Amino acid sequence: MAEDAATVQTLTMTKALTEGLAAAMEADDKVLLMGEDIGPLGGVFRVTEGLQKRFGAHRVLDTPLAESGIVGTAIGLAMRGYRPVCEIQFDGFIFPGFDQITTQLAKLTARHEGALQLPIVIRVPYGGHIGAVEHHQESPEAYFAHTPGLRLVSPATPHDAYWMIQEAIASPDPVMFFEPKSRYWPKGEVDFSDAGAPLHASRVVRVGTDITVVGHGAIVSMLLDAAALAEEEGTSIEVVDLRSLSPIDYAPLLESVRRTGRLVVAQEAPGSVSIGSEIAATVTEQAFYSLEAPVLRVSGYDTPFPPAKLEGAYLPDVDRILHAVDRALAY
Choosing from 58, 129, 136, 200, which is the catalytic residue? 136
| pLDDT by residue, tens only, the chain of 331 residues | 444 457 999 999 999 999 999 999 999 999 999 999 999 999 999 999 999 999 999 999 999 999 999 999 999 999 999 999 999 999 989 999 999 999 999 999 999 999 999 999 999 999 988 888 787 889 999 999 999 999 999 999 999 999 999 999 999 999 999 999 999 999 999 999 999 999 999 999 999 999 999 999 999 999 999 999 999 999 999 999 999 999 999 999 999 999 999 999 999 999 999 999 999 999 999 999 999 999 999 999 999 999 989 999 999 999 999 999 999 999 9
Whether 136 sits among the annotated catalytic residues: the reply is yes
Contact 127, 180 (CB under 8 A): yes
pLDDT for position 133: 78
Parallel/antiparallel/unpaired status of strands 244-246 and 187-191: unpaired
pLDDT for position 132: 81
Contact 55, 25 (CB under 8 A): yes
Please give the CATH topology (third level) of the domain spanning 203-329: Rossmann fold (3.40.50)
pLDDT for position 4: 45
pTM of the model: 0.96
CA distances from 42 to 45, 47, 140 (A): 7, 6, 24
CA distances from 182 to 16, 99, 136, 242 (A): 15, 27, 11, 18
What is the Cα–Cα distance from 269 to 325, expressed in whole angstroms? 19
Buried b (16+ CB within 10 A) or exposed e, 231-265: eeeebebbbbbbbbbbebbbebbbebbeebbbbbb
CA 64 to chain centre: 25
Please give the CATH topology (third level) of the domain spanning 9-191: Rossmann fold (3.40.50)
Contact 153, 112 (CB under 8 A): no
So where are the chain's domains?
A: 9-191, 203-329
Whether 9-191 shares its CATH topology with 203-329 is answered yes
pLDDT for position 134: 80
Strand partners, 86: 34, 122
CA distances from 106 to 32, 40, 103, 141, 238 (A): 20, 31, 6, 15, 35
Three-state helix/strand/coil letters over the chain: CCCCCCCEEEEEHHHHHHHHHHHHHHHCCCEEEEECCCCCCCCCCCCCCCHHHHHCCCCEEECCCCHHHHHHHHHHHHHCCCEEEEECCCHHHHHHHHHHHHHHHCCHHHHCCCCCCCCCEEEEEECCCCCCCCCCCCCCHHHHHCCCCCEEECCCCHHHHHHHHHHHHHCCCCEEEEEEHHHCCCEEEEECCCCCCCCCCCEEEECCCCEEEEECCCHHHHHHHHHHHHHHCCCCEEEEECCEEECCCCHHHHHHHHHHCCEEEEEEEECCCCHHHHHHHHHHHHCHHHCCCCCEEEEECCCCCCCHHHHHHHCCCHHHHHHHHHHHHCC
pLDDT for position 3: 43
